[in-house]
Structures are given as C-alpha cells and as structure tokens.
Chains A and B, each alone.
Chain A
Amino acid sequence: MPKSKKEELADLLKELENVGDIDGAAITTRDGLLVASRLPRDVNAETFAAMSATMYGAAETAVSELRKGAVKRVISEAEDCKLVAVDAGPTAALVALVRPEANLGLVLMEIIKVANSTKELMR
C-alpha cells in the first residue's frame, strides 16, 4: 500500500533524527501552522511551529528591507541548543533542534537534504 503523505513526512523527520546531534525537528507552513513534528515530549509542537515561522518570516522581512537577496536559513544559538530553520519550498520551513556541540557543517547538509525532500513532497 502506498504511504500517505503524513507517513512520508514522519519518515523524513525520523531520518533526520538518525543523523545524530539532532534532537528533534518540525515542518511548519510559512504562516505558522504545524505540518509534522518529531519533538521532545514536553515541547508544544503547535506553539513551536508558530513561533519558528514567525522567526523565519521576521528574518526574511528584515533582510528584504536591505535588499540583499533571499534568506537561506536562520540559526538561533541558545545555551543548550541551536535552532536551525531552513527553507523547504515556498510554503514551508523545516526547523531542527541541534545540540550545541554538533558539527554544524554535517548537520546542515543533512537538514538541507531533508528540506529538499520535503519541498518535493509538498509540491
């Protein structure tokens, strides 16, 4: 039986978690609605998605004021994690929770790979 889109998106997020140094991820629409998530239990996924989309959108708006091209990603560095939000097509963004000690180069590559698959899926 072919997988539903929901299952495919869930698989993508699972794949990301298997990379290592990634504690969770969510896909959100640009306007803040949760599409899919794999997050620690105590995180409210809906709020996280809404806030991440706002963060991404605010960054885009700030950059567009400067007329310096499109935003590729937004990285928020916190004490205990890095939040990496990348473009996943015109309607969505992928946000990953990355451990602070992670090798950002490797992790970023994997995140972008999954973001591209997400983009394909949501076409």
Chain B
Amino acid sequence: MEAYATSIPRLDELLDGGLKPSTLTVLWAYPGIESAPFAYQALMERLESGDSVIYINQSKMGKTVEDEIEHYGWSVEKYKAGGEFFFLDAYSGLINAESDERFSVKNSRDVTEITKALKEALNSNGSGHKLVVFDSLSTMIDHCGESSLDELIEWKKIFQEKKATGLFLFTEWPYEEKVLNKVKLVSDAVVQLKAIEEKVILREFFIVSKVSWDGKTKKGISVPFKIAVPGGVKVYIPKILVTGAYNAGKSSFVHSASTRAVSVDRVGTTVALDHGHVDYAGFSVDLFGTPGQERFDPILELLGGESLGVIAVVDSTNVQSLYRAKDMLQKSKSIGLPVVVVANKSNLEGALKPDEIRQKMSLPADIPIIKVTAEDLSKVQVNEPAKLREGEVHAVLDALFNRIV
C-alpha cells in the first residue's frame, strides 16, 4: 500500500511507511504538549515531495501558522504562491474578521460549512497527493459542539473519494469519556504525545496507540522526542555515558561524534566531564564523557545516573584498558543498560581483535563491539582529542540507537 512519509524520525517506520491515503490520523496531545510542530514537519515533507497541503485553521490565524512554521526553519511561502499550499480559514469567522485566504468559511461555528469548503478545496487543482491538516479537533468541539464530531464521518467519505489523507490535531482537555471515544473511533490511526515524569525529569514521548492498516506497523512503542528550534521533531536521548580507561579515547569519541562539545581537561586528560551534543539521523543526544583515571571515580559514580545507554571506549592495544572498562561499567551503574563497546586504535600494531576483546571482557554475544580508528594517524597529537573516522563513529551511534529505541 502506498504511504506518505512524514519525515518525523521513527514515526514513518512505526506506521509502515507513513500516512496512508483515504485515512484520518489524529495527533493526540496531552495538555502542555505542542502537536503542531509534528504537523508542520509532515506537511513540509509532503510539499517538498511535490504533494499539496490544505491547512484548515480554526485555532489561529493563517499568518500565525506561517510564522510558526518559519520559526522551525521552514517556509511555505513558495508553495503558497505556487498553489500547492493553502489555508481553509475557519478562524477569521470566529473573531468576525474578513479572511484573505483562498478558502474560508463565514460561520465557523457551523461544521457543515467547513465540510462544504473542504469539498470545494479538495476539488481545486493542486498537484500530487493531498494532505489535509486540521488545526484542531479540540477547537471544533469547543466552538461547534460535540455533535460536530459526527460530521467527521462525512469528511472521511470525502477523503476516500479524493484519496486524500487527514492529519488532525487534538488536545485531550478534560472532555467527557464519550467525546474521547468518538475521536478514537473515527480515527484510522492515533499518535499520542505524552509527557512522562521519570524521577524528576519530564520527558515527552510519542506512541502509535492505534493503527488500522496492515503491514509492518508497530503499536505501543514509546519514542522520546524533543522539538528543536530550528529543526523540528527529533528523537531525544538526554544522556548517554561515554566511559572507559585513561587514554582510551573517550574525549576523541565525544568530540568526533558531536556537533558541538566542551571538555573540562588539563594537560589532555579529562578531569571532570566531556559534554557533547549529537545531531544525527533525526536523533538529538547529549553525550556525557567521564574521566578515566581512578582518582576521579567519585565523579564517575556521580555522573552515571539516569543514562539511557553506555558507550564503553577501550584501547585495543592495551589489555589493561579492557579490565578497567569493565570495572567502570560497574561503578557507573550501567549494568542492564544498552551498551556498545568501541574498540579504538584498532589499526595500530598489536591491536586485539573484537573477538579477543569480547573474550577478555567476558561480554555477552549481543553487545556490539565496533572498531574505530583515527582519521589520520599523522595528525594525532598527544594531549589533544583525535578525529575519528566518521563512518565508524556513525556505526557506533547506529548500533546504540537501535538498542535504545
């Protein structure tokens, strides 16, 4: 079955390719979580792929929507001029203003008027597949009453006729149970946006809680996210610990993997912490690199908490570093977390092979051991983090992300 990608990392995978034609997907947010950026990201992806987007705005002015989209670093301007993107203004009517959008409704409190305008809008030209974003179901319930939800059945018929796709925003204000049930029933897929408090950190997740189409869909997997400005929705992992023995190359790894990194170091050895931010493959991750020398172990124990994954860096030419890494994994309370072992300096003389490392550290077979090497050995300097080969660093991140999410 054809699918229309949203470019929201992981979401397309969970939905088996993306949004489907002739269906209605609801972005179901809990109060306090913004769902609009998800819609903006999806609609930009569709426009860039040559499709058309109709944005039904009932909760704010079209101009506000355009400004917000710009805030995330995108622009609909050229698509609006080209007729691929347009608003169906159901907001101006609410505040008694004249609408200057291409389609609008006079009485925004009458849902059947929106239906009429929607039909008209879908009949108009516009290239490619049509995505209809509705912002939002909650404002519709507030202004047109609960019974307006029944009209959605009509909208779905229109979508089927036109093979269009609906992406509707909904915020779960304290509605009655029957209202929530109606929204659930009418939707073909539901993506919930939730905040979960873990210890003291509030983390936001999206979860595909309902999906009616077949294929390789995955329900119930929580994906942590954060909304970056600019950049949009990223899978968010607030803490990955990078640990290992003295001189194994932890700082080199943090600096090579990160888009920006800072270190607290003295004469080339980390004394407190390397902190790096990684933007890669739709993931936004903060790396915490620990000191390696034993005298700093209290800091290691301090920093170990609440990590979601661990990268253990070992010096392949130094057997002692393997035992030390094993010890540090224990001290940082990383047992049970997803771990990837980085075999640094693997092209140097006397380097141990991954198998030998596995055996010496008595690691279970499912922990990946990935070889990394410096980009250019002649440029490696004492007391400076070395630049590691990008492909190998990415292989490490891929392996770890796969184990975490």
Contacts and interface: CB of A to CB of B under 8 A. Distances in A.
A91 interface: yes
B303 A58 contact: no
A51 B302 contact: no
By secondary structure, the B interface counts as strand
A34 B277 CA distance: 13
Given A33-B201, A51-B273, A122-B200, A46 B286 contact: yes
Nearest to B173: A1
B3 interface: no
A35 B201 contact: yes
Pick from A7, A29, A32, A55 the residue with the most CB of B within 10 Å.
A32
Contact of A58 (B32, B272, B277): B272
A33 B299 CA distance: 15
A74 interface: no
Interface in B255-274: 260, 262, 264, 272-273
B234 interface: no
A70 to B, nearest CB: 15
Contacts of B200: 29, 35, 91-92, 122
Contacts of A35: 200-202
Contact of A30 (B195, B286, B302): B302
Nearest to B204: A6
Given A31-B306, A35-B201, A54 B299 contact: yes
A91 B199 contact: yes
Contacts of B306: 29, 31, 33
A18 interface: no
Interface string A34-63: 110000000010110011011101100100
A74 to B, nearest CB: 13
A54 B273 contact: yes
Contacts of A91: 199-200
Nearest to B286: A46
Contact of B303 (A34, A46, A54, A122): A54
B299 to A, nearest CB: 6
B40 interface: no
A72 interface: no
A5 B275 CA distance: 27
A64 to B, nearest CB: 8
B90 to A, nearest CB: 25
Interface string B292-324: 000000110011111000000000000000000
A50 B286 contact: yes
The 8 closest A-B pairs by CB, nearest first: A31-B305, A57-B302, A61-B298, A50-B275, A54-B273, A54-B272, A122-B200, A4-B32
Interface of B: 31-32, 195, 197, 199-202, 238-239, 260, 262, 264, 272-273, 275, 277, 286, 288, 298-299, 302-306
Given A35-B202, A44-B260, A92-B200, 20 more contacts: A1-B31, A4-B202, A5-B202, A29-B305, A31-B302, A31-B305, A32-B239, A32-B288, A33-B306, A35-B200, A46-B277, A46-B286, A50-B273, A53-B303, A54-B302, A54-B303, A57-B298, A57-B302, A57-B303, A61-B302
13 contacts: A4-B32, A5-B202, A6-B195, A29-B199, A31-B303, A31-B304, A31-B306, A32-B303, A33-B238, A33-B306, A35-B200, A46-B277, A57-B299
